[in-house]
A = this chain, B = another copy of it.
């Protein structure tokens, strides 16, 4: 029997958690069917959730979509959902354990019937999971939309999404929570660490790990920045100090990346995602193929041969990426030619107009790079979509790899060219500084202030609209308006671009650190403002994202490590090329190069050994994990002993 939902003060009979927006042209029949499936009992294959249609806003317009639904659930349902998604919570003894209802009273903070035990972000994640695992029974298509085919076991929500019948699902903000969070995060004046636990509580582990990484990365760069300042101020260019700085940087980069792994494991343990088992991943909405049987689940689902996907990756995507890299190289060569030409014109006849001409190539190059980045991003998304990956995670990895390589190339190719082909260290330092500073300013503007300004305008319009109808107490919007407002907010597209930005900054710091020691200082300053602007945009500009139970920063750890390996090579080469070092080997360049290569190999070997020696998980966490495993083994053994004893009694 469906429980009667409690009545809420806002007129709703339950606390709304998630918003489901269907397309405005969806048939009435479809809506009735979907709602009944969502509300139906689990035994009958339903999701057993509460769902209600959102009423029209104060001043309903023609174009307003009526098909917006609010979804919630009873506490009982949420607790059973927590078990389904394998949520880890803190146990009485301080360890983290998978939540089970049978054991619920042994969990810390579990009081009464469990009200308040789960955070709102967790509840929303559970509802999302339950909606996504709502499967078709014997329907062959979505009622009312015969083009949206279904087969037993297919996730209904994913089919609706892929057919465009479902516009979006998003979790609601909590106004009070958000105010508190944003105050402790970026609004208060005194300097302090970010409230990572609160961020995780509100936005989930994936977000919190990004902000944790951003903060960690900033602190980790402080020693490099501090050491870099005197190099810049006093123009130290002796051989020894140079080498000392570079070697320190290289080892430091390795150490901080390794220590981050340990720190992130601590965070993930505390947040319960470290040992949480990943549920079996569903095919992503865009995945298509011939209907077959999944070899793992035995369920009917589309199947697409891996060999075909590999052909697409290696015969189309890979050549395409290589072609783009070549093109980017070609554009760079044109830029250097243009610059050479402008310089020669200016040298011949130095007037005001030829002085301006000097800037033209850089501006054109910058614009072309931005355009190329944009086009490439679309192409990469298209190609990765076309590769038809079954899992969202594999799709993301392939996309990240493609975009990463191209962005790395676009950002650093010109610097590499200046450093190793032109061998002009002064120009290198200049270009590095220019690129670093302009990209930082541009980023901050594009990322936070522009969307904020747009959002603010929209916000004000809404408030004005509401105020026309009635006077508002303390400027709070009623729930209906709030939902409409949030539905119109931009969607947060994940941490991809944020990590990419950090990755490129890390490149500026590490690749050419011995040439421009001030880079670390600039990046530290940038990161401090980045914390504020990112926090601000999360809280004010974007829809609340669903939380994502991440245990680490994933493919980005690998990307940062790859960058630190490349940094060893470039720094060794730069030092080998510096005139101070060259002066040590006046008679033989061969000797110099051999020494440089030998030192480089030694550093790389040392780096790998260091990576190997520092354990990825801190010992106290390792002990806690082993203890949990040991206890479950012992419990199993005890159970077996009891069974055996009973068995032997039966035989006697």
Contact = CB atoms under 8 A, between A and B. Distances in A.
Interface of A: 1, 42-43, 80, 83-84, 101-102, 277, 279-280, 295-298, 306, 569, 589-590, 593-594, 597, 601, 619, 623, 626-627, 629-630, 633, 637, 640-641, 643-645, 652
Nearest to A647: B101
A608 to B, nearest CB: 9
Contacts of A84: 637, 640
A604 to B, nearest CB: 9
Contacts of A296: 623, 626-627, 630
Contacts of A569: 601
A298 B93 CA distance: 14
B630 A297 contact: yes
Contact of A633 (B101, B102, B279, B641): B279
A295 B623 contact: yes
A279 B280 CA distance: 26
Contacts of A1: 652
Contact of A590 (B590, B633, B644): B590
A248 B84 CA distance: 51
B589 A43 contact: no
Contacts of A626: 280, 296
27 contacts: A1-B652, A43-B641, A43-B645, A80-B640, A80-B644, A84-B637, A101-B640, A101-B644, A102-B643, A277-B633, A280-B626, A280-B629, A280-B630, A295-B627, A296-B623, A296-B626, A296-B627, A296-B630, A297-B627, A298-B627, A569-B601, A589-B589, A589-B590, A590-B590, A593-B593, A593-B597, A597-B597
A84 B636 CA distance: 9
A479 B93 CA distance: 55
Nearest to A306: B619
Contact of A594 (B306, B593, B640, B652): B593
A280 B633 contact: yes
Given A1-B652, A295-B627, 11 more contacts: A42-B641, A42-B644, A43-B641, A43-B645, A83-B640, A84-B637, A102-B643, A280-B630, A296-B623, A590-B590, A597-B597
A633 B279 CA distance: 9
A189 to B, nearest CB: 42
A213 B601 CA distance: 30
A637 B408 CA distance: 45
Contacts of A83: 640
Contacts of A101: 640, 644
Contacts of A640: 80, 83-84, 101
Contacts of A295: 623, 627
Interface-central residue, A593, A623, A645, by most chain B CB under 10 Å:
A593
Contacts of A297: 627, 630
A216 B424 CA distance: 53
Of all A-B residue pairs in the complex, the 7 with the closest CB atoms, nearest first, are A296-B626, A295-B623, A296-B627, A589-B590, A593-B593, A280-B630, A296-B630
A102 B295 CA distance: 27
A597 B102 CA distance: 63
Contacts of A306: 619
